[in-house]
Amino acid sequence: MTRDIVNRLRTNRDCLAPCLMDEAADEIVRLEQVVLALTTERDEARREVLLWVKERCSWAELSDEIKKRGWEYLKEDGK
C-alpha cells in the first residue's frame, strides 16, 4: 500500500512541486524502514519475555500465554 502511495507521489507531478513530492516519497520510505526496525526490536523483546515465562511455566501455560497475548506469529519462524 505505501509503495503505491510512493509511486503516485513520484509520478503524479500535477499536485505539488516535484521536489516536495520526492521529499514526501523519501520520507515515507524512511518511515517504513523505521517501522520495520522497531517491529523487529519489539518482536525480539517479546521472544525474550517468552523465554523468561518458559523458565517458570509449563509448555501448556506458555502456549496459553502466547495465545492470550496474540503472539502466535512468533512461533511461526521457529524461534
The whole-number pLDDT of residue 79 equals 44
- Name the pTM for this structure: 0.67
How far is the first Cα of the chain from the last one, in angstroms, to the nearest whole number?
29
CA–CA distances in Å: residue 62 to residues 3, 15, 53, 66: 38, 53, 7, 6
Quick one: pLDDT band at residue 1, thresholds 50, 70, 90? low
Task: For the chain, count helices (H), then strands (E).
Answer: 4, 0
pLDDT top residue among 19 and 37: 37
pLDDT tens for each residue of 26-67 = 888 999 999 999 999 999 999 999 898 889 999 899 999 899
Q: Which grid cell is 58? A: 509449563
Rg of the chain over CA atoms, in angstroms? 20
pLDDT top residue among 9 and 59: 59
